Amino acid sequence: MLKDNFYPWRRRKTNILSKPFLLIILLLLIILPVFFFSLFGLATETDQKTEPGQTTEPDPPGEFSQPIEFSHKIHIEKGEVPCEFCHIYARRSINSGAPVMASCFGCHSVVAGSDEDPQVAIKYQNAIKKLLEFKPKGESIPWKKIHDVPDFVYFSHKRHIQAGFDCTDCHGEINQHDLLSTQTMITDLSMGWCLKCHIEGRPAVNGKIAGPVRETRGGKILKEAAAKQPDGILLGSKDCYTCHK
The residues of the chain scoring below 70 in pLDDT are 1-23, 26-28, 31-64, 113-123, 218-219, 223-226
Residue 232 pairs in a beta bridge with 204
| Residue at 103: amino acid letter | S
pLDDT at 38: 56
- What is the Cα–Cα distance from 28 to 11, expressed in whole angstroms? 30
DSSP 13: P
- What is the Cα–Cα distance from 2 to 11, expressed in whole angstroms? 11
CB 188 within 8 A of CB 171: no
- Bridge pairing between strands 232-234 and 202-205: antiparallel
* Residue 187: C-alpha distances to residues 15, 91, 214 (Å): 59, 21, 19
Does the reported pTM lie above 0.85? no
Q: In what order do the strands lie in the sheet with 208-209?
A: 208-209, 202-205, 232-234
